[in-house]
């Protein structure tokens, strides 16, 4: 492979990624994503207002509350739907807009197109979700005043925050690849997305063999504070964090390979969509 | 595969059980080629197949030796102006072209310079920073043309490129197509407006019901249609004398005096023989001839003959 | 002076009355919906809970059959409030999926393909257009929900006799009002989302996201504030509480039923506002 070709591929992939990033972040499409991320932020705000005075002295409450909110609401709903909105439209949005052919009329390997769209969408998702997660984490500690800030800046607090950010980043990678693929395969990618959401929500109640087929099982293994999943959940040993991270990245790579295969066979027949 | 021609060998495309194009074999040469046929005849499918937006169900296609399934190589030499009147949402004329050039690997500074040149060329320099969604139909057509031309391709595939343009715009674009063809490029233009193609194309490919019904230079194609005598319109001061003399020729099947009293329409099976005899007839009868014109050597008439609806000579 | 021969004659046949003109939109929407075999099959499946209930009511009043099956009359004594509340739920869930499948595709394709100016260039206005689409949803969802529910209630009342129908009048009321409110709110919400996002897949995703995410958000707010304030945005709980109240059962929301009614009213009104803003006969430059 010549270096000139690599350079061209990089330049093309970045052009596609930049275009995708602008389409995702600097347009009206970002509104539903912003509404989604506003929810955990407003939860944190409400908590700051309503937290009983007695609990303001106990930092453990904030750690536990955030863990619960992150696992059961932020990860399962906010990150999930934000990724669905951003990634599913990477291809399907252009097909519905009848503008995908402009990308296909460029001297572009379809693998470069998939890579560019994925990277652009991933950056868009990270740009919105990572700061929102960090701000929510800080806001959860706000009612404790200076002690709360010290907790956030302490080694434990910082490592917790880093772990939560890593979980969000990995979730964006994995869910993103899945929704990008769904956008290529299905004329309505929201149907498989909703079915998968059902699967993800039901994961705590599934036997271990079936848990292994969900993303949230691996993502939960990376959480610094395990959430309480209720009396009906089937508890299993968490996956080793390195294995969980590697597994999610491997699944992402496999999904992207499938997306490239599909993109290479893609034809422009808008009327059928 | 020929490196200096566009070839299709036994190409068919099915959409499920619906046939798009059927066993098409073609060799296209440089110059302006018209792809004509009514709506739904398969012109756009054929163009999509040439540019890899569709894959043939069977058969082989080569564009100057490149397989349309290899976009990296194909779109270095091909520019395609599609029929779709849709654009990326929020795009301005400038950003649309800039992105296209970025995908070609053109550095930003050079891309900007090229964008303004292109916008100038298609008459959109003043609207460069306006959103395409707010453009008129004619302007959208022009920006699509600029997109297809942006990387100066050797092969230009243009699907109904004159749609929506005003008469001035059409004339400008036709001049541009002719210039591009004169440079030795392949310019393939589809249209269902037959007289338009007649006016600009060196050769035509006639499509009907997904099949090619004829291809080549229009006069040669007309000559091949032996079932329909060729019509020649002679405008002169003594049409009766010409008609009488023409009817004496073996190959003339009909001579019809037209209502204007100054024209005779001759139908002959051998146009060359008629033209050869006409000089003698004119001299012998002392007729003053104003013009001698083939009356049905137009794309319109030929297409009508081929699909069973004889054209009306004008 | 030019003289034109008057060869043109306007249509002089019968016209659909103006007050029923919106049903033309409904007719085409229904034809489109039932053109899908999958949808038709699902629609047929939506009647299964009601048919099963019909079977249970039938055998509970057929002493000979009960005897053959080795069951006693007391076994079917559960055909009371609990039975009808469960049946309501099993009618409402498929009804919701019917609306979720249909509603996003009713307006979004018209907007995406710039078809609205075509509609509105005919003698119907925006109100007729929305009414037509709404009527399509109502006509599709009604038979497997409140129509079947009321029929089963009446059947049970007739079979049971002895003033059962009068004693349990709230069941009939809950079936009629509960399903109608459920259908109206979800239909308006579905149409509003369909008009807002323009693309069917996005509209479907948005409808589910709004219900699931808002419900989860409401629950999270309740958990964090240790109150029931989150039920204000918990749409499914609001509907459930209203229906439970109509049945005369304890409600699942910690808020007064009036607040649940208010939530539903606000959602309906907001949907109408969105429809009013988004349904315009002009192209939107994006």
Q: Which chain A residue has its CA at the smallest distance from C108's CA?
A: A96
Determine whether the interchain pair A43/C204 forms a contact, defined as Cβ–Cβ distance below 8 Å.
no
User: In terms of Cα–Cα distance, which of C241, C190, C235 is closest to C216?
Assistant: C235
B229-295 under CATH 3.90.550.10, yes or no: no
Provide Rg for chain B, Cα atoms.
Answer: 23
The arithmetic mean of pLDDT across residues B288-293, rounded, is 84
**CA separation, residue A158 to residues A68, A71, A152 (Å):** 18, 18, 6
Sequence length of chain B is: 314
Indicate if the pLDDT at residue C185 is higher than 90: yes
Domain positions in chain B: 6-220, 229-295
Where does A45-183 show beta strands of DSSP type E? none
Indicate if the pLDDT at residue C66 is higher than 50: yes
pLDDT at res. C1:
56
Strands lying side by side in the sheet with B230-236:
B252-257, B263-268, B230-236, B289-294
User: In terms of Cα–Cα distance, which of C103, C94, C210 is closest to C142?
Assistant: C94
A272 touches chain B (CB under 8 A): yes
Which chain C residues are closer than 8 Å to A72 by Cβ? Answer: 216, 220
A233-240 contacts at long range (C-beta below 8 A, 24 or more positions apart): A233/A204, A233/A205, A234/A204, A234/A205, A234/A206, A234/A207, A234/A208, A236/A208, A236/A211
Give A175→chain B minimum CA distance, Å: 25
Which chain A residues are closer than 8 Å to C204 by Cβ? Answer: 188, 190-191, 194
Chains near B, with 3+ CB pairs < 8 A? Answer: A, C
C212 touches chain A (CB under 8 A): yes
Higher-scoring residue by pLDDT: B123, A58 = B123
Determine whether the interchain pair B75/A105 forms a contact, defined as Cβ–Cβ distance below 8 Å.
yes
**CA separation, residue A75 to residues A130, A175, C42 (Å):** 12, 11, 32
Label residue B310 by pLDDT band (50, 70, 90).
very low
- Cα B140-B146-B148 angle, rounded to 5 deg: 105
CA distance B154 to C62: 85
The arithmetic mean of pLDDT across residues B245-250, rounded, is 89
Determine whether the interchain pair A76/C220 forms a contact, defined as Cβ–Cβ distance below 8 Å.
no
CA distance B216 to B220: 7
Which one of A122-131, B82-91, B99-108, C64-73 scores highest in mean pLDDT? A122-131
The separation between CA A238 and the C-alpha centre of its own chain, rounded to angstroms, equals: 20
Per-residue model confidence as pLDDT tens digits over A79-95 = 999 999 999 989 998 99
From A65, A92, A96, residue closest to C224, measured CB to CB: A65
A65 touches chain C (CB under 8 A): yes
CB C88 within 8 A of CB C49: no
Indicate if the pLDDT at residue B311 is higher than 50: no
Q: Is residue A138 classed as helix, strand or coil in its secondary structure?
A: helix
Within chain C, where are the H helices? Answer: 22-33, 37-45, 48-60, 63-68, 81-102, 104-112, 116-120, 126-141, 148-160, 164-167, 169-173, 179-197, 200-225, 235-247, 257-278
Indicate if the pLDDT at residue B174 is higher than 50: yes
C 120-159 residues with CB < 8 A to A: none
CA distance B303 to B311: 8
CA distance A94 to A77: 25
User: In terms of Cα–Cα distance, which of B107, B103, B50 is closest to B74?
Assistant: B50
The arithmetic mean of pLDDT across residues C196-224, rounded, is 85
Q: Which residues pair with B24 in a beta bridge?
A: B11
Domain positions in chain C: 20-278
Indicate if the pLDDT at residue C283 is higher than 70: no
Chains near C, with 3+ CB pairs < 8 A? Answer: A, B
CA distance C136 to C106: 9
pLDDT at res. C151:
95
pLDDT at res. C123:
84
Determine whether the interchain pair B90/A265 forms a contact, defined as Cβ–Cβ distance below 8 Å.
no
Indicate if the pLDDT at residue B314 is higher than 50: no
CA distance A79 to A126: 10
Cβ neighbours, 10 Å, residue C59:
17
Who's near C7: CB < 8 A, 6+ residues apart?
Answer: none
DSSP 8-state secondary structure symbol assigned to residue B257: E
Q: In this structure, what is the dihedral angle of CA atoms C158, C160, C164, C166, given to the nearest 10 degrees?
A: 10
Which chain C residues are closer than 8 Å to A83 by Cβ? Answer: none
Which range has the worst mean pLDDT, A96-110, B213-227, C67-81, C139-153? C67-81
CATH number of B6-220: 3.40.50.300
Q: Treating both helix axes as pointing N-terminal to C-terminal, what angle do A80-97 and A155-185 enclose, rounded to 10 degrees?
A: 30
Indicate if the pLDDT at residue B59 is higher than 90: yes
B90 touches chain C (CB under 8 A): yes
Taken in order B150, B153, B158, B162, is the CA torsion positive or negative?
positive
Burial A76-114 (b: 16+ CB within 10 A, else e): bbbbbbbbbbbbbbbbbbbbbbbbbbbbbbbbbbbbbbb
Q: Are strands B31-36 and B203-208 parallel, antiparallel or unpaired?
A: parallel
Phi, psi of B297 (to 5 degrees): -100, 35
From B53, B90, B102, residue closest to A268, measured CB to CB: B53
Q: Which chain C residue has its CA at the smallest distance from B88's CA?
A: C286
Label residue C187 by pLDDT band (50, 70, 90).
very high
User: In terms of Cα–Cα distance, which of B118, B112, B40, B53 is closest to B80?
Assistant: B53
Within B11-84, where are the H helices? Answer: 43-50, 71-77
CA distance A268 to C89: 44
pLDDT at res. B1:
57
The separation between CA C215 and the C-alpha centre of its own chain, rounded to angstroms, equals: 19
User: In terms of Cα–Cα distance, which of C88, C73, C55, C247 is closest to C156?
Assistant: C55
Determine whether the interchain pair A109/B72 forms a contact, defined as Cβ–Cβ distance below 8 Å.
yes
Higher-scoring residue by pLDDT: C100, C284 = C100
Which range has the worst mean pLDDT, B29-33, B154-158, B274-278? B274-278
pLDDT at res. C99:
93
Determine whether the interchain pair A99/B86 forms a contact, defined as Cβ–Cβ distance below 8 Å.
yes
Average pLDDT, chain B: 87
Phi, psi of C120 (to 5 degrees): -80, -5
pLDDT at res. B309:
55
CA distance C214 to C260: 14
Which chain B residues are closer than 8 Å to A107 by Cβ? Answer: 71-76, 103-105, 151
Label residue C241 by pLDDT band (50, 70, 90).
very high
Q: For chain A, what is the total number of helices (H) and then of strands (E)?
A: 12, 0
The arithmetic mean of pLDDT across residues B257-272, rounded, is 86
Give percent of chain C above pLDDT 90: 45
Per-residue model confidence as pLDDT tens digits over A228-266 = 777 677 777 788 989 999 999 999 999 999 999 999 999
pLDDT at res. B62:
95
Which tokens go with B155? 């092969």
Which tokens go with C188? 């308006």
Q: Is residue C207 classed as helix, strand or coil in its secondary structure?
A: helix
CA distance B291 to A72: 88
Q: Treating both helix axes as pointing N-terminal to C-terminal, what angle do C179-197 and C81-102 enclose, rounded to 10 degrees?
A: 20
Indicate if the pLDDT at residue B242 is higher than 60: yes
Determine whether the interchain pair C213/A36 forms a contact, defined as Cβ–Cβ distance below 8 Å.
yes
Give percent of chain B above pLDDT 90: 43
Q: Which residues pair with B254 in a beta bridge?
A: B267
Count Cβ atoms within 10 A of the Cβ of residue B154 and give its class: 0-12 exposed, 13-18 middle, 19 or more buried.
middle
CA distance A163 to A160: 5
E strand or H helix at B20: strand B18-28
Q: Is residue C59 classed as helix, strand or coil in its secondary structure?
A: helix
Which chain C residues are closer than 8 Å to B134 by Cβ? Answer: 285
Label residue B162 by pLDDT band (50, 70, 90).
confident
Which tokens go with B189? 């233009």
């Amino acid at each position: 492979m010549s270096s000139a070709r690599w350079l061209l591929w990089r330049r093309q992939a970045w052009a596609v990624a930049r275009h995708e990033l602008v389409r995702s972040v600097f347009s009206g499409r970002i509104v539903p994503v912003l509404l989604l991320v506003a929810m955990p932020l407003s939860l944190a705000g409400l908590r700051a207002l309503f937290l009983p005075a007695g609990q303001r002295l106990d930092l453990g409450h904030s750690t536990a509350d955030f863990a619960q909110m992150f696992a059961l609401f932020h990860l399962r709903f906010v990150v999930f739907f934000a990724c669905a909105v951003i990634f599913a439209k990477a291809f399907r949005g252009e097909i519905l807009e009848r503008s995908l052919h402009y990308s296909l009329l460029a001297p572009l390997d379809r693998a470069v197109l998939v890579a560019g769209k994925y990277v652009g969408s991933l950056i868009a998702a990270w740009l919105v979700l990572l700061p929102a997660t960090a701000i929510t984490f800080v806001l959860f500690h706000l009612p404790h005043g200076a002690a709360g800030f010290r907790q956030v800046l302490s080694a434990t607090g910082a490592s917790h925050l880093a772990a939560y950010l890593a979980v969000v980043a990995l979730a964006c990678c994995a869910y993103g690849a899945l929704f990008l693929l769904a956008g290529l395969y299905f004329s309505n990618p929201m149907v498989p997305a909703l079915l998968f959401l059902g699967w993800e929500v039901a994961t705590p109640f599934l036997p271990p063999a079936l848990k292994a087929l969900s993303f949230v099982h691996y993502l939960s293994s990376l959480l610094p504070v395990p959430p309480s999943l209720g009396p009906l959940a089937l508890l299993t040993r968490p996956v080793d964090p390195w294995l969980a991270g590697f597994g999610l990245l491997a699944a992402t790579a496999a999904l992207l390979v499938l997306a490239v295969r599909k993109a290479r066979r893609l034809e422009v027949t808008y009327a059928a969509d | 595969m020929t490196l200096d021609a566009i070839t299709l060998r036994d190409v068919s495309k099915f959409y499920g059980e619906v046939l798009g194009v059927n066993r098409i074999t073609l060799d296209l040469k440089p110059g302006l080629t018209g792809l004509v046929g009514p709506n739904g005849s398969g012109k756009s499918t054929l163009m999509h197949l040439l540019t890899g937006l569709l894959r043939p169900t069977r058969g082989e296609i080569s564009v100057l030796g490149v397989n349309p399934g290899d976009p990296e190589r194909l779109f270095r030499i091909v520019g395609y102006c599609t029929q779709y009147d849709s654009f990326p949402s929020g795009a301005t004329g400038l950003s649309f072209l800039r992105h296209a050039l970025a995908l070609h690997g053109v550095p930003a500074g050079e891309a900007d310079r090229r964008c303004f040149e292109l916008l100038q060329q298609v008459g959109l320099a003043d609207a460069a920073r306006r959103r395409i969604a707010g453009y008129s139909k004619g302007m959208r057509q022009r920006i699509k043309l600029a997109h297809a031309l942006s990387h100066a391709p050797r092969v230009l595939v243009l699907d109904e490129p004159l749609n929506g343009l005003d008469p001035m715009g059409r004339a400008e674009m036709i001049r541009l197509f002719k210039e591009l063809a004169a440079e030795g490029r392949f310019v393939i233009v589809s249209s269902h407006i037959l007289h338009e193609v007649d006016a600009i194309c060196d050769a035509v490919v006639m499509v009907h019901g997904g099949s090619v019904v004829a291809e080549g230079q229009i006069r040669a194609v007309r000559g091949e249609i032996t079932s329909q005598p060729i019509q020649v319109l002679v405008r002169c001061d003594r049409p009766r004398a010409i008609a009488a003399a023409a009817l004496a020729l073996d190959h003339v099947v009909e001579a019809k005096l037209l209502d204007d009293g100054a024209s005779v329409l001759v139908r002959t099976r051998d146009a060359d023989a008629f033209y050869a005899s006409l000089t003698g007839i004119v001299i012998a009868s002392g007729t003053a001839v104003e013009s001698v014109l083939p009356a049905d050597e137009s794309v319109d008439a030929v297409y009508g003959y081929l699909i069973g609806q004889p054209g009306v000579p004008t | 002076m030019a003289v034109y021969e008057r060869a043109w004659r306007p249509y002089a046949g019968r016209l659909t009355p103006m007050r029923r003109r919106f049903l033309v939109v409904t007719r085409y929407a229904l034809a489109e919906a039932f053109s899908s075999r999958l949808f038709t099959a699902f629609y047929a499946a939506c009647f299964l809970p009601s048919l099963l209930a019909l079977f249970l009511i039938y055998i509970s009043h057929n002493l000979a059959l009960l005897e053959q099956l080795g069951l006693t009359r007391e076994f079917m004594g559960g055909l009371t409030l609990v039975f009808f509340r469960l049946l309501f739920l099993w009618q409402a869930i498929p009804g919701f999926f019917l609306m979720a499948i249909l509603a996003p595709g009713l307006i979004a394709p018209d907007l995406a393909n710039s078809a609205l100016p075509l509609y509105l260039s005919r003698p119907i206005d925006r109100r007729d257009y929305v009414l037509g689409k709404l009527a399509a949803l109502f006509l599709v969802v009604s038979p497997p929900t409140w129509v079947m529910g009321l029929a089963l209630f009446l059947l049970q009342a007739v079979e049971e006799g002895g003033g059962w129908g009068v004693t349990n009048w709230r069941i009939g009321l809950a079936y009629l009002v509960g399903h109608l409110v459920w259908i109206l709110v979800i239909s308006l919400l579905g149409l509003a989302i369909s008009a807002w996002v323009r693309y069917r897949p996005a509209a479907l995703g948005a409808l589910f996201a709004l219900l699931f995410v808002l419900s989860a958000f409401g629950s999270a707010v309740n958990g964090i504030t240790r109150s029931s304030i989150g039920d204000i945005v918990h749409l499914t709980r609001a509907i459930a509480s209203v229906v439970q109240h109509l049945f005369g059962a304890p409600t699942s929301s910690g808020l007064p039923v009036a607040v649940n009614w208010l939530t539903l009213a606000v959602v309906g009104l907001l949907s109408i506002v969105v429809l009013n803003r988004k349904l315009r006969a002009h192209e939107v430059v994006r």
